[in-house]
Amino acid sequence: MIKAYPIILTPDTGGYAVYVPDLEINTQGDDLAEALRMARDAIGAWGICQQDAKRPIPEPSKAEPPHEATELISWIDIDFDKYRRQSDMTYERTNITLPRYLKSLANDAGLNLSQELQIRLKEVLQVSE
């Protein structure tokens, strides 16, 4: 299920400070885009830690939080289950089949087949780091 949490962005000399009032967590970003990305990451990491500890995740506020005139308000959407899947860096052994000549050429070139496959899958699936 996707939830959208309000955040408060405070302009700072180094970018933006971010506060998530519903969760009482903070993060920051060098610019607005990074601040939003960092907010989503902070909310996602906080949420899956709560799930792992079997603690409830509060529902997001529907109203705009109180803020100063110089601060920006935005909402960050997050799907905690999707965030967990994308954050899972557990490696899983997978057997693949290649033509012998291709494997031989890759070995001669010193390529790491696992790494090359990961790079290509990320390109095809349009997955960003």
Per domain, the residue ranges of the chain are 2-87, 92-129
Contact 74, 8 (CB under 8 A): no
Asked if the model's pLDDT at residue 85 lies above 70, the reply is: yes
> For the segment 51-84, what is each residue's pLDDT rounded down to a tens digit?
999 999 999 999 999 999 999 999 999 999 999 9
What's the rounded Cα separation, in Å, for the pair 80 and 85? Answer: 9
3-class secondary-structure state, position 112: coil
Exposed/middle/buried for residue 36 (C-beta within 10 Å: 0-12, 13-18, 19+): middle
pTM of structure: 0.74
Q: Which two tokens stand for residue 45?
A: 């990491």
Asked if the model's pLDDT at residue 87 lies above 90, the reply is: no
| Domain 2-87 part of CATH 3.30.160.250 | yes
Asked if the model's pLDDT at residue 129 lies above 70, the reply is: no
Q: Which two tokens stand for residue 129?
A: 């780091």
In the chain, the amino acid numbered 13 is T
